Amino acid sequence: MNTLVAVAIAPFGVGDELAEEVAEVVKVIRESGLPNRTTSMFTEIEGEWDEVMKVVKEATFVLAEKGIRTEVVLKADIRPGYTNTINTKVDKVNDILGG
């Protein structure tokens, strides 16, 4: 079933600058081959539920396996019969706004 998640995976308690660890997480997500988009606070991933959750787990464990306490914030949109919602949801809003 098609699933779109917004996930933030970040180290906890390792200092003020987290970009290096976050980059490791994003690399795992990008290498998954699933459609994804990274913004300043979340990365969206789209695909079948099991595929998406596998990527979330792998991305989380890239830090956790180094002994880093890792925080995960996840929001999921499961919408049967739809695909490419990572783009179409934004396109609909932009169309309404005339852009």
Query: 99 pLDDT exceeds 70?
Result: no
pLDDT in tens, 54-78: 999 999 999 999 999 999 999 999 9
pLDDT above 80: residue 43: yes
Tell me if 47 sits within 8 A of 39, measured CB to CB: no
State how far the Cα of 5 lies from the Cα of 17, in Å rounded to an integer: 25
Give me the pLDDT at residue 13, please. Answer: 79
pLDDT for res 41 = 95
pLDDT at 15: 74
Instruction: Report the predicted TM-score, pTM, of the whole model to 2 decimal places.
Output: 0.91
Sort 30 into a burial class: Cβ within 10 Å, 0-12 / 13-18 / 19+. Answer: middle
CA distance 47 to 78: 10
Average pLDDT, the chain: 95
Q: Is 2:85 a contact under the CB 8 Å cutoff? A: yes
Non-local CB neighbours of 60 within 8 Å, separated by 6+ positions: 9, 25, 70, 72
Q: Domains of the chain (ranges plus CATH)?
A: 2-96 (3.30.70.930)
What is the arithmetic mean of pLDDT over 40-62? 97
